Amino acid sequence: MEIRPFRIRIDEGAISDLRQRLARTRWPSRMTDVGWAMGMDQDFLRTLIAYWLREFDWRRIEDSLNRLPQFEGVSESGTIHFVHLRSNAPRAMPIVLTHGWPGHFAEFRKVGGMLANPASCGRQSEDAFEVVIPSLPGYAFSSPTGVAGTNVFTIADQWAALMSALGYSRFIAHGGDIGAGVSTALGLRHRERVVGLHLNYIPGSYQPHLPNPGELTPEENEFLTRRAAWLDAEGGYSHVQSTKPDVLAPALQDSPAGLAAWIIDKFRSWSDCGGDVTTRFDFDELLTTVSLYWFTGSMSSAIRLYWESRRSPLRLSAGERIEVPVAVAHFPREIPIPPRSYVERGYNVTRWSEMSRGGHFGRSRSRRRSPTTSDHLPASFVETPFVLAALAVRRTHFAFWRTSRCVRP
């Protein structure tokens, strides 16, 4: 794999095209007194689109993103875009952070900086990490695949190859959403290299081997019932993306307003915002996510990963288990994940942390800012508790690292 520098530069014509499309948005007919009941509040979306058209400054966001040290790994299977945050600490532990859908690499901008430079959050230099933040294949600036067969297992192999190219023989893997599936696959397929896993989600397709399903505990049965109810009420997006993504893809590729509605519904539904998404994410945060998908044209390839996951689920066979140490951070407003007992049927769970608040996008900051005052790149959707959990995992389970040789480029 060849590693080469990467810099974001969206063509001015693409920005002009976006503005023209936003100005020509064909709005659906209105329904009175429904608010968000049908999935998207049209008044909110109109306000957001107006801000995107007239006030959102992509070039400022782009400049901020380009302050991250970005690279791409080039191989026969395509290019993998990634951020590489180096530490000055002599024995910094490598960690690969994998995002999910509808996420992107910039979610980890702040938390990655804190892991690489723990002094920034009051920790010691001996707690430092070498941080690698890849974009999933077909997401943002990673190339899409031209043939079927890319799934969390093949992506895990790509991550292992990337870490080897960077000179890291062993590392920790963190992930949520699809990233949890990739990290789990790393623990299964590359266990000799993975020191441990840190997850804030359990893959939706996870199914341990159950020789006698009747032995499930009441808590585990309650989870299965609750998950089924959630999928019925909130899982329409997943069913479409898992079964017929290329029916949905043209609409999301062609309409920026439609793309925004599809993404932002998830930020509202899956966060601890109490129904008001702007208490957790300002307009620049939301539109950075939407713009990354829009300018890279990556939503069509991104949602195909759901179709691939349906074909290659995480179902453990008899005797199959993730044996590397696993730490789980459970956020209270996360979409349904199994209880610890069910997770332990397939994972070697050595730490389970119940977070005080937060949802699918981690512990996001409370904000009450006017969208017109936004003047910075969104720092992260995950706050310091994730960093502290990762450091605790390191200290609790991997103290031997300090006496071993960490291979660095």
Residues with Cβ within 8 Å of residue 26, at least 6 apart in sequence: none
Length of the chain: 409
Report whether 373 contacts 311 (CB < 8 A).
Answer: no
**348-368 pLDDT tens trace:** 999 999 988 888 987 444 443
Q: What are phi and psi of 207, to 5 degrees?
A: -145, 110
Q: How confident is the model at residue 384, as a pLDDT? A: 45
Query: Using N-to-C axis directions, what is the helix angle for 245-254 and 256-269, rounded to 10°?
Result: 110
Q: How confident is the model at residue 90, as a pLDDT? A: 86
- DSSP code string of 59-125: HHHHHHHTTS-EEEEEETTEEEEEEEE--SSTTPEEEEEE--TT--GGGGHHHHHHHH-GGGGT--G
**286-330 pLDDT tens trace:** 999 999 999 999 999 999 999 999 999 999 999 999 999 999 999
Report whether 109 contacts 68 (CB < 8 A).
Answer: yes
The upper half-sphere exposure of residue 311, i.e. CA atoms within 13 Å in the direction of its Cβ, equals 14
- DSSP code string of 263-292: HHHHHHHTSSSTT-GGGT--HHHHHHHHHH
Q: How confident is the model at residue 282, as a pLDDT? A: 95
Say which DSSP state 212 is in: -
User: Among 48, 173, 194, which Cα is nearest to 99's?
Assistant: 173
Q: Which residues are catalytic?
A: 177, 306, 360
pTM, full prediction: 0.90
Q: Which two tokens stand for residue 323?
A: 């044996």
Q: Rounded to a whole number, what is the distance in angstroms from the first to the last CA of the chain?
A: 14
Q: Which residues on adjacent β-strands are paired with residue 3?
A: 73
What CATH architecture does domain 10-19+41-403 belong to? Answer: 3-Layer(aba) Sandwich (3.40)
SS3 195: strand
* Phi-psi domain of 113 (left: phi exceeds 0; alpha: psi -120 through 50; beta: other): alpha
Q: How confident is the model at residue 214, as a pLDDT? A: 85
* Residue ranges of domains in the chain: 10-19+41-403
Q: How far is CA 249 from the centre of its chain?
A: 20
What is the residue whose two structure tokens read 């892991």? 115
Q: How confident is the model at residue 386, as a pLDDT? A: 53
| Share above pLDDT 90 across residues of the chain, in percent, rounded to a whole number | 79
Burial class (CB in 10 A: 0-12, 13-18, 19+), 403: exposed
Q: What is the CA radius of gyration of the chain?
A: 21
Q: The dihedral of CA 143, 144, 147, 152: what is its sign?
A: positive
Query: In a structure prediction context, what are the per-residue pLDDT tens digits for the chain, which is 409 residues long?
Result: 999 999 999 999 999 999 999 999 999 998 988 999 999 999 999 999 999 999 999 999 999 999 999 999 999 889 999 999 999 888 899 999 999 999 999 999 999 999 999 888 777 888 899 999 999 999 999 999 889 999 999 999 999 999 999 999 999 999 999 999 999 999 999 999 999 999 999 999 999 999 888 899 999 999 999 999 999 999 999 999 999 999 999 999 999 999 999 999 999 999 999 999 999 999 999 999 999 999 999 999 999 999 999 999 999 999 999 999 999 999 998 999 999 999 999 999 999 999 888 889 874 444 433 333 223 223 333 344 455 555 555 554 444 343 333 333 3
